[in-house]
């Protein structure tokens, strides 16, 4: 067995036998388990210790300024919040003990959770506070449900469906063994590679979508040719949250936000909203930003599930699942003010580029009503102009430039790259990437 340590997150009041089996599976996979009890009620199960290295639920509660008995008097939601706060403090402190070497010497090299719905919610909330690329695995009864979007969110958690409920039998033992082998292999591989000391190009975040792909591809080509590394964030909710998370963590050197589409879904309560945090963290971190109203010309809904209040609007059905609602004047007015508000708070340089000939590839489409009747062209420059006007009236930080181009014209992509590169000379060179 190596010195690589894997944190184990479980509720011992209901999953003690399963947690013990999981810890044994980790040992058999060649790593050391460090068990954290997330139970929300005092209990005697799991004593004597399942492992030599163990944190009780009482200790986790105390780290949040409460007692285990206090948690017993709270409703489940409040008790979970306290447990997450306390256990998270202990987990992050342990992770920071030796974060550069994959867990050798006291820190942790990875984390694995085991649980039902509430256990999954708590364990994944804790995993999401850990750095990207640290191995994170969750064995869960709800790993095959739609709720996975919220458990994983902007993180890199690998979900293992438990198939059966969390109890020990030949199927669930096999699932747990596989999950333990997976997290052990990831952690051992990272430990073998050692700390990330190599120089790497600065990493630039670029938001993407099918309707802005040509712009994104050319911007990426320009950036990589200039010596940068690029990560794309698909503007469908989790992508925007991941962009904001990595910006906040200091993983990005700058952002070309080609596809700010998630703001339209935030406003219209569409299915691709990234939440209220969009277009905030890069500015708060002082990163250079080029911002474009890419795909702001529509909000996304599931086919057959468009809210009643939008029944008289103009649409285009993108595929079997997605139907796009064309943004109207009132929404563009609100989006211009919303974007200005967020960019005004930015601490770094900001350039907004607006393609006046269209914000997405859908300008070649025709709009339709929900009953299938054709309504008119998607391309509506006079409607799009409302956004530019509202942004200009409210932006107090940064510069705006309107270009007589379509967003997917090569010249527009080049303008985005040129504006970004002009902000970056002092930041060029190399950076050390985290592991």
- Give the tens place of pLDDT for each residue, 236-274: 998 999 999 999 989 999 999 999 999 999 999 999 999
* Same domain, yes or no: 151 and 228: no
Residue 46 in contact with residue 204, Cβ under 8 Å? no
- pLDDT value at position 198? 52
Q: What's the domain range around 343?
A: 199-432
Which CATH number does the domain housing residue 289 bear?
Answer: 3.40.50.12030
Q: Is pLDDT above 90 for 7?
A: yes
Domain stops at, among 193, 221, 240? 193
**Whether residues 182 and 130 fall in one domain:** yes
Do 152 and 216 fall into the same domain? no
Mean pLDDT confidence for 124-129: 94
SS3 content of the chain, % helix, strand, coil (to 5): 45, 20, 40
Q: What is the pLDDT of residue 147?
A: 83
Same domain, 105 and 228: no
Which pTM was predicted? Answer: 0.78
* 230 and 279 both lie in a single domain: yes
Predicted local distance difference test score (pLDDT) of residue 155: 87
Q: What mean pLDDT, rounded, does the chain reach?
A: 90
Local confidence band at 104 (pLDDT 50, 70, 90 cut-offs) = very low
User: Out of 75-89, 284-298, 330-344, which region has the weakest mean confidence (pLDDT)?
Assistant: 75-89
User: What pLDDT is stored for residue 46 in this prediction?
Assistant: 52
- Is the same domain home to 147 and 256? no
C-alpha distances in angstroms, 66 versus 9, 44, 82?
19, 19, 8
Question: For residues 23 and 50, is the Cβ–Cβ distance under 8 A?
Answer: yes
Confidence of residue 48 (pLDDT cuts 50, 70, 90): very low
Do 85 and 219 have their domain in common? no
Question: How much is the average pLDDT of 374-378?
Answer: 95
Nearest-angstrom CA–CA distance, 330 and 363 = 19
For residue 103, pLDDT over 50 is answered with: no
Number of domains within the chain: 2
pLDDT at position 333 is 98
pLDDT-derived band at 412 (thresholds 50, 70, 90) equals: very high
**Are 228 and 181 part of one and the same domain?**
no
Q: Please give the pLDDT value at position 370.
A: 94
Residue 52 DSSP code: S
């Amino acid at each position: 067995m190596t010195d690589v340590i894997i944190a184990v997150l479980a509720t011992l009041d209901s999953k003690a036998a399963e947690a013990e089996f999981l810890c044994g599976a980790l040992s058999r996979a060649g790593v050391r388990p460090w068990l954290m009890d997330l139970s929300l009620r005092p209990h005697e199960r799991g004593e004597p210790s399942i492992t030599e290295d163990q944190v009780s639920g009482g200790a986790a509660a105390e780290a949040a300024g409460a007692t285990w008995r206090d948690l017993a008097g709270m409703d489940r939601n409040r008790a979970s919040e306290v447990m997450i706060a306390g256990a998270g403090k202990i987990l992050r402190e342990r992770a920071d003990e030796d974060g550069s070497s994959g867990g050798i010497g006291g820190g942790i090299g990875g984390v694995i959770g085991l649980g039902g719905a509430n256990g999954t919610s708590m364990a994944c909330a804790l995993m999401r506070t850990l750095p990207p690329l640290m191995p994170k695995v969750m064995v869960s009864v709800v790993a095959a449900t739609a709720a996975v979007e919220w458990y994983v969110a902007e993180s890199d958690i690998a979900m293992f469906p438990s198939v059966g409920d969390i109890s020990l039998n030949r199927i669930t033992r096999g699932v747990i063994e596989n999950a333990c082998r997976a997290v052990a292999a990831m952690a051992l591989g990272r430990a073998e590679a050692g700390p990330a000391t190599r120089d790497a190009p600065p990493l630039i975040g670029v938001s993407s979508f099918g309707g802005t792909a040509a712009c994104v591809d050319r911007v990426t080509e320009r950036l990589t040719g200039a010596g940068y590394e690029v990560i794309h964030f698909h503007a469908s909710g989790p992508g925007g949250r991941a962009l904001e998370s990595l910006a906040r963590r200091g993983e990005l050197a700058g952002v070309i936000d080609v596809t700010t589409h998630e703001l339209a879904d935030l406003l219209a309560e569409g299915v691709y909203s990234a939440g209220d945090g969009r277009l905030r963290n890069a500015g708060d971190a002082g990163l250079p930003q080029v911002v474009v109203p890419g795909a702001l010309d529509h909000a996304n809904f599931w086919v057959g599930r468009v809210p009643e209040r939008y029944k008289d609007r103009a649409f285009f059905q993108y595929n079997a699942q997605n139907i796009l609602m064309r943004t109207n004047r009132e929404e563009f007015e609100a989006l211009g003010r919303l974007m200005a508000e967020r960019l005004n708070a930015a601490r770094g340089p900001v350039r907004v580029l607006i393609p006046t000939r269209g914000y997405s590839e859908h300008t070649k489409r025709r709009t339709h009503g929900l009953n299938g009747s054709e309504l008119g062209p998607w391309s509506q420059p006079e409607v799009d102009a409302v956004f530019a006007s509202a942004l200009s009236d409210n932006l107090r930080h940064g510069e705006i430039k309107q270009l007589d181009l379509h967003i997917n014209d090569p010249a527009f992509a080049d303008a985005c790259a040129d504006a970004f590169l002009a902000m970056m000379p002092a930041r060029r060179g190399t950076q050390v990437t985290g592991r």
